[in-house]
A = this chain, B = another copy of it.
Amino acid sequence: MAEPESKRVKTEYELTYWPDIPGRGEVVRLLFEEAGVPYADTAKGEKAVRTVLSYMAAENVGDETNPPLFAPPVLKHGDLVINQLPNILLYLAPKLGLGPASGDGVYHLNAIALTILDGFLNEVHETHHPIATAQYYDDQKEEAKKRAKAFREERLPKYLGYVQRVLDGKKSGGGKWLYGGELTYVDLVLFQCLDGTKFAFPKTVENLKKGGEYDGVFKLYDAVKERPNIKAYLESEKRVDYADGIWRHYPELEEDEE
């Protein structure tokens, strides 16, 4: 079932995601930006929402080459169309020089990516929508306060501790980057997910940073931010501002009640 990759070498990458929020799509963008590889981004076009909805439509059963998809982000590369963020990262990493193409490193990096996405993306989304994704935040605000408290006090420190352990381990190769002594895509995943979590819970993250237990994690965050391509991207108009997406800032979710 192997397919020669060469036929896609000159094909453009196309990312599809919701417009006007960074979200899961932003993690994919950072890989392209760091690698300096051009990509089309349907979120920036006029048909952004329509493109997302056509992929998710109940009558869409895929095509000759691809099974149907559940939700964005979606990556199109030649005739291949795939979704699921960790899966898109897995596909892109070796092609963009941000991870190995085979061997143990593939699975080590995939495990690290999945864990960071669980902690700093999926669980952050749950803090403002603990009852139902399809309902408004205001209709689940009281439950959100409880979930956010557990996230701030238990889950976030636990995930930060995990990332610090990865940096402290021998396989990080010195503790500057997460794996193998050089920047890989999981460092970019960590940067975006921690950046979003900082936006959502600024006081909480600042206090955890001051505590000093996760210095390596915050140094890594700063190091990614200073990568020339990333820095230029973050300062450009291409970078999407946080809004009502996965990483939202509701001040009441950082307040402890009596």
Please report A residues at the B interface, Cβ cutoff 8 Å.
1-3, 58, 60-70, 80, 82-84, 86-87, 90-91, 100-105, 107-108, 110-112, 114-115, 118, 122, 126, 130-135, 140, 143, 146-147, 150, 154-155, 159, 161-162, 165-166, 168-172, 178-180
Contacts and interface: CB of A to CB of B under 8 A. Distances in A.
Contact of A2 (B101, B112, B166): B101
B134 A1 contact: no
Given A112-B67, A143-B131, A62 B171 contact: yes
B114 A67 contact: no
B61 A165 contact: yes
Nearest to A108: B67
Contacts of A111: 67, 69, 82-84, 87
Contacts of A169: 61-63, 67-68
Interface-central residue, A63, A132, A178, by most chain B CB under 10 Å:
A132
Nearest to A148: B131
Given A58-B161, A67-B111, A68-B169, 6 more contacts: A3-B103, A64-B170, A80-B104, A82-B107, A84-B115, A132-B146
Closest CB pairs A-B (n = 6): A132-B150, A1-B100, A61-B169, A62-B169, A3-B103, A2-B102
14 contacts: A1-B105, A61-B166, A61-B169, A62-B166, A63-B169, A64-B171, A65-B104, A67-B172, A70-B118, A86-B110, A87-B107, A90-B110, A131-B147, A131-B150
B63 A82 contact: no
Contact of A1 (B3, B102, B132, B172): B102
A179 B65 CA distance: 11
Contacts of A61: 165-166, 168-170
Contacts of A165: 58, 60-62, 68
A92 to B, nearest CB: 10
A114 B62 contact: no
A187 B65 CA distance: 19
A135 B154 CA distance: 11
Given A2-B100, A61-B169, A170-B64, A107 B80 contact: yes
Interface-central residue, A3, A107, A114, A118, by most chain B CB under 10 Å:
A107
Contacts of A143: 130-131, 143, 146
B166 A68 contact: yes
A165 to B, nearest CB: 4
